[in-house]
Amino acid sequence: MLTHDQLDDIFTLQSLCETHDGITIKLNGDMLRRESYESYDLLSYDNGRLTGFLGVYPFGSTIELCGMVHPDFRRRGIFQSLFNRALKEISKNTVDKVLANSHGRSPAGKAFIEANGGLFDNTEFEMEWVPCELPEPDESVQLRGATRKDTPEMTRLGLECFGIKDASFDEAHIDDTLMILFDGEVAGQMKISRDGGQCYIYWFSVFPALQGRGIGRRALSRVVREAEGKYSVIGLDVAAKNEHALKLYTSLGFVVQSHQDYYSLSL
Q: For the chain, which residues make up each domain, given as ranges?
A: 4-116, 129-259
Q: Are 69 and 52 in contact (CB under 8 A)?
A: yes
DSSP class of 3: -
CA 44 to chain centre: 24
Angle at 189 (CA atoms; ends 206, 125), nearest 5 degrees: 75
User: Around Cβ 228, how many Cβ atoms within 10 Å?
Assistant: 13
pLDDT for 22 equals 93
Which 3 state secondary structure label does DSSP give 104? coil
What's the confidence (pLDDT) of residue 96?
A: 86
What pLDDT, on a 0 to 100 scale, did the predictor assign at position 20?
96
Provide the residue count of the chain.
267
pLDDT value for 243: 62
**pLDDT given at position 241:** 63
**Ranges in the chain, pLDDT < 70:** 35-39, 168, 170-172, 241-245
Architecture (CATH level 2) of domain 4-116: 3-Layer(aba) Sandwich (3.40)
| pLDDT tens digits, one per residue of 77-132 | 999 999 999 999 999 888 889 999 999 889 999 999 999 999 999 888 899 999 99
10 contact partners, CB below 8 Å, separation of at least 6: 2, 27, 32, 43, 50, 53
Q: Top-level CATH class of 129-259?
A: alpha beta
- Of the chain, the end-to-end C-alpha distance in Å amounts to 25
- In a 10 Å sphere around its CB, with 0-12 CB exposed, 13-18 middle and 19+ buried, how is residue 95 labelled? middle
Q: In this predicted structure, what is the pLDDT of residue 135?
A: 86
> Which candidate, 110, 113, 179, places its Cα nearest to that of 147?
179
Q: Which residues pair with 100 in a beta bridge?
A: 65, 263
* Domains 4-116 and 129-259 equal at CATH topology level: yes
pLDDT of residue 122: 86
**pLDDT at res. 242:** 55
Structural contact between residues 57 and 39, judged by C-beta atoms closer than 8 angstroms: yes
